[in-house]
Structure 1
């Protein structure tokens, strides 16, 4: 553990990654239009929502650095994960809604390289090390990349996002049995779900998911309304609401079943 990289080691064949829960703007805060805008698109409270993971013996890897500083779930080459669709870069220059993040010039290539070396590379070195450690002890492991996003972002998707958005990059990152087990629990919940819809899995899922080597990766993108109240228009006075474990409990119970299904898959 460092001041910005938190690794909790478990012995179960399961890793939960939290790439977007960070709020730390580090040494670039002064360049942003406002700290609130730079933090607005965080995956709010996701690490708290999955707090049960440690009790299951899972390993967790989390960065406290904001995705506005460096997005550790983007392709480091700069290639878009969703060609032809609106998205954000490894060092975003706009919010999800297209608003500028910087008061002046955005980070240049040298600055992006500095941020990659300072935060991106160590995050993935830690994640790779945990994958190798668990894979040495288990024939099969699951990497579960945990995310959430506001339910309505017209620049990114039409209408209201389904509650559960399962990403396997078209089935390439995990065995069909794992994707099917997760999707079945989502369907049984009675809440909206889709597999490989708008969100097919970010760079983490696509980079590490190698079923033929025993490493199965899956992304879960939650519509944030499932565990916290969303205002029509996020504003500094209303966003984000404080985390309320009672409000989040029904969704957390479903997620517990999903994570247990991931563990059951590794044993099967």
Structure 2
């Protein structure tokens, strides 16, 4: 994938965003990553493939840079999403296991972090904001569904095994209760899977920044446990077609319900 972002425009009120699926790292940055960093282990591996075609009319916005370049789901001001808990920063210094990703003395300084923010983070979010406005202009409502995945076992970030569906609405702040309810209901009805609402992952900066239900912009983050669609959560992080196909069925149901509910909310308002 080339470029800072890629947009595929659709006619649905739903926008799917993918901030962490790219493995693209500019050569001058790649040279400064250590062997651990070059594993790119914290990628949302194959997530765009998992969601492909599930809601055909949805708009998609996908970042074209790896999160080690700059994390598109972190506050551009550098404020922690989860004060007092282990997490990674706007430009990560460690991986999700707390291990260094940069060669000695080659981690970016504050000036470089701000330059990366301006070169990558800002254009991605300008594109995402433009699509939200376009969709809202068409339907009078927009739903940003922020797509994420993560390894199911990461002691540095959370205890035990992560639930399969991790729904984040920042405590119900970022979307209408009806949208939160249909997402939770779909997860509850997904046989063989576990779920949690506003658990360890309550929604990142993207969800919190754009989710303003009073302005008819709703945002929901979905963090999926990778164990359900990867053959292995370690190198080489291969896609598991059979596991993915099982997971795609409840995800499709979930997204279709989100779309219908969004349109119904607008009809009720009118």
- Classify the TM-score, shorter chain: over 0.9
Name the SS for the 2:53 alignment partner.
helix
In structure 2, what is the equivalent of residue 50 of structure 1? 51
By how many angstroms is 1:68 displaced? 0.8
Contact 1:38/1:101, CA 8 A, preserved across alignment: no
Which of 228, 244, 251 matches 1:255? Answer: 251
| Number of positions where the alignment pairs a residue of Structure 1 with one of Structure 2 | 261
Give the conservation status (yes or no) of the 8 Å contact 1:150–1:230: no
Which residue of 2 is the match for residue 77 of structure 1?
77
Structure-1 residue corresponding to 2:268: none
1:192-233 deviation digits (Å, cap 9, x = unpaired): 1000000000000000000000000000000111111335xx
Task: Indicate if the aligned counterparts of 2:70 and 2:117 stay in contact, CA closer than 8 A.
Answer: yes
CA deviation after TM superposition for structure 1 residue 25, in Å:
1.1
CA distance in 2, matches of 1:245, 1:134: 32
- Confirm or deny: 8 A CA contact 2:54 2:251 kept in the other structure: no
Q: Deviations over 1:22-61 (max 9, x none)?
A: 1011130000002764511100000000001462x10000
TM-score (norm: length of structure 1): 0.94
TM-score relative to the length of structure 2: 0.93
Other-structure match for 1:62:
62
Q: 1:239 and 2:236 equivalent?
A: yes
- Work out the CA distance in 2 between the residues paired with 1:11 and 1:73: 25
2 CA distance for matches of 1:119 and 1:95?
Answer: 20
- Give the equivalent residue in structure 1 for 2:128: 127
Match for residue 221 of structure 2? 219
Distance 1:46 1:263 in 2: 20
Which consecutive residues of structure 2, in runs of 5 or more, have no partner in the other structure? 265-270
String of CA shifts for 1:78-101, please: whole Å, max 9, x gaps.
110000000000100100001101
1:185/1:54 CA distance change after superposition, 3 Å: closer
CA distance in 2, matches of 1:72, 1:249: 28
Structure 1 position 13, deviation (Å): 0.6
Worse overlay, 42-51 or 28-37: 28-37
Range with greater deviation from structure 2 (203-212 or 106-115): 106-115
Distance 2:31 2:185 in 1: 46
Instruction: Report what 1:114 is aligned to.
Output: 115
Cα RMSD over matched residues?
1.5
CA distance in 2, matches of 1:86, 1:61: 28
Counterpart Cα distance in 1 of 2:39 and 2:137: 39
Tell me the equivalent position of 2:7: 7
Q: Confirm or deny: 8 A CA contact 2:55 2:252 kept in the other structure.
A: no
For 1:197, the equivalent position in structure 2 comes to 199
Deviates more, 1:88-97 or 1:246-255: 246-255
